Structure formats: structure tokens, C-alpha cells
Amino acid sequence: MSDAIKGNILTAAGWIRGEINFNERIAAIDGAAVDPLANGDDYIIPGFIDLHVHGGAGKDIMEGGDAVHAIAAIHARHGTTSMLATTMTAPPEDIDHALKAIGAAVANRRSGGARVLGAHLEGPYINSGKLGAQPNFARAAKLADVERLAAFAPLKLITVAPEIAGHLNLVRELTAAGMRVQIGHTLGSYEDGVAALEHGAAGFTHLFNAMSGLHHREPGMVGAALAHAEYAELIPDLLHVHPGAIKAAMRAIPKLYCVTDSTAATGMPDGEYMLGRHTVHKCMGGVRLPDGTLAGSTLTMDQALRNLVGLGLDLADASARVSTYAADYLGMQERGRLAPGAYADMVVLDRDLKIKAVYIEGELL
């Protein structure tokens, strides 16, 4: 016995008005091509995929234990159907503790929560001169260290500053081992960025933030991304990146996709929260260190989608940037799209783009 929902359905071939039949996976999609603006039906789009999640609901990934499940649950309520739990730069024992909990969550998704696909290791292999909101426990990477960490949880993404001695060779080794390497928290030059891409780096961590900026005579890491990247992640909370810079990046990077970089403060009232070993403050819609440095966000993916549409993107383009491109980046053909055989990860939106229902692997939240 399968379930079914009806509405304006965003398929890979475009919008149709019809019905999706599904269990854990989509069994069939039937309907006729439609302009979704021509009727008042709900929108049915692929579930959101967030590759950069530090926290939510007052919980931080670095806490370990059950924190990851609480985080997966609050993001699921905002349409995130799968995610990467993201660690902070920290002492080795803290990272081990967090990854063990992430590994357990990968093996056992709890009802009502987003599917945890693995870990995004955001540090400690970054430049101590571009920490952003990361604690200062940066260190150079060694393959044996990364392999040890990979035993605790699948390392789907690893953020690396390529200018650190030895890191270019490591980028090649990690890429050969099937891990995606991103450039981030870096003081590297344009040339460093190009070299990293040539060695197998695949993307950029929160483009524009915590990296050397663009100048017309010194293009910096931002210039390397704009000139050469196919993929990069960006935080579209309209605090981290100016709307004009977002539009410029979208013109330059074909598959620019969105992340939340969300923290424990997501879904919570103003106040103090933990981000790794840092105490951060939520106020005026943002999260900051005591010195005012932005420290992650309180963004959710449904708001990211609405922000993109507010910038002028049509809903199909915005949907790709909060779902399909992230799935493509990780090589996942069974997520991030509505097609027979794909997981039944779906978000139902009303005409104001507010969530009406979320399905994760066929389960209605």
C-alpha cells in the first residue's frame, strides 16, 4: 500500500500538476506539464539538503551524545530531509567525541529527524589567521589522522586551508580516497586556490566568509572560486553575504548551493549558546562572538529558500540551490530530486512558500 500526494510537482523535467505515489521511495509520478503560477495548488519540491549544520534547538554537534538527534529533528521541521553534522576546530578528544555520536546517528536515523548522511569536518585543518568563529585549535593535517577520524563516522566533506605546508598533497590523497575537500578558513592566494582545485578540491566553504577577498590586482581565494569553481556553498541569511555578492556568485558559479551554518541558537530565543568551546550570543537575528564576529547563523533552509526567491530567483532555481546541487556535489542521485526510485524526501509548500508538510524517506513528520 503506497501513499500519494497531489499538487504542483517539481520534477527534473519541470513542473507538472499531478500525483506522487510513494513508500520509502517514489514509486511513480503522474501528471501534465503546468505553469505552477497558473493555479492555487500547493508546491511539492525535493526535501532540503544542508551540508553545514553545527546545531539547533539549544544543542551543539560538539556535545556528542543525543545532541545530533535533537538538531536533526528541529531542522527536519523546517524542511531539511538530510544533512551533514558539522564539527568545529577543537582539541582531538573533542572531535573524537563528536564524531562517535555522528557515526551512531548515521547508522540509526530516529523518526522525526533529518537523515544524517555523515560529517563535515570544518577544521582543524585551517589557517589560524582566518579562524572566523572557530576556536584556535588549528593544526596541519596528516593522512593518518584523517583516516583515524574516518573510522568514527563517514567524512563526507573536509574543509582545508590549502596554503598550509603539506595540504596540497593531502587534498589529492583525500580526494582519491573518495572524500570531498573544500577550501575554507584560508589566507591563501588566488594561485593557492587554483592549485588546490587542480589537486582535487571540489568546492569552497561558506563562500566570501573567512577567506581572502577579491581585489582586481589580487583576486584572492574569492577570485579563484568565481573564476574556476563549479560548486561552492554560501550562507544566504542576508547577514553573512550582501545580496549583490550572492547574485554575482550565482552568475559565476554554476552550481552554487546554500547551507545554513546553523548553531545551537537556531529555533531558540535571544541569549547565550555554545558553539564548540565558544560562548556565542544570539541577538537581532544573528549569532556573534563577544567581539561582534559573526559565529554561524540561526538560518533554516525554508527561510533560505524564501530569501533566494526574494532576491529574484524562480522557485525551481531556488529549489535546486537548497537541494539538488548539494546532492549532486556528494554524488547522491537518489536524493535532491523527485523521480521514480529516489527517496521520498519531499517538502510541501503553500503559495507563500511556508511549509505545510515534510516527508523524509516516506515518513510524514
Question: Which residues carry out catalysis?
Answer: 261
- Chain length of the chain: 365
Which H or E element spans position 175? helix 167-176
CA atoms within 13 A on the CB side of 248: 13
The backbone region for 193, taken as left when phi is positive above 0, alpha when psi lies in -120 to 50, beta otherwise, is alpha
Helices (H) and strands (E) in the chain, counts: 10, 20
Peptide bond connecting 254 to the previous residue in cis, omega within 30 degrees of 0: no
| Residue whose grid cell is 523518526 | 111
DSSP character at residue 326: H
Q: How many CB atoms lie within 10 A of CB 136?
A: 9
* Beta carbons of 186 and 224 less than 8 angstroms apart: no
State the Cα–Cα distance between residues 331 and 363, nearest whole angstrom.
Answer: 23
CA atoms within 13 A on the CB side of 262: 33
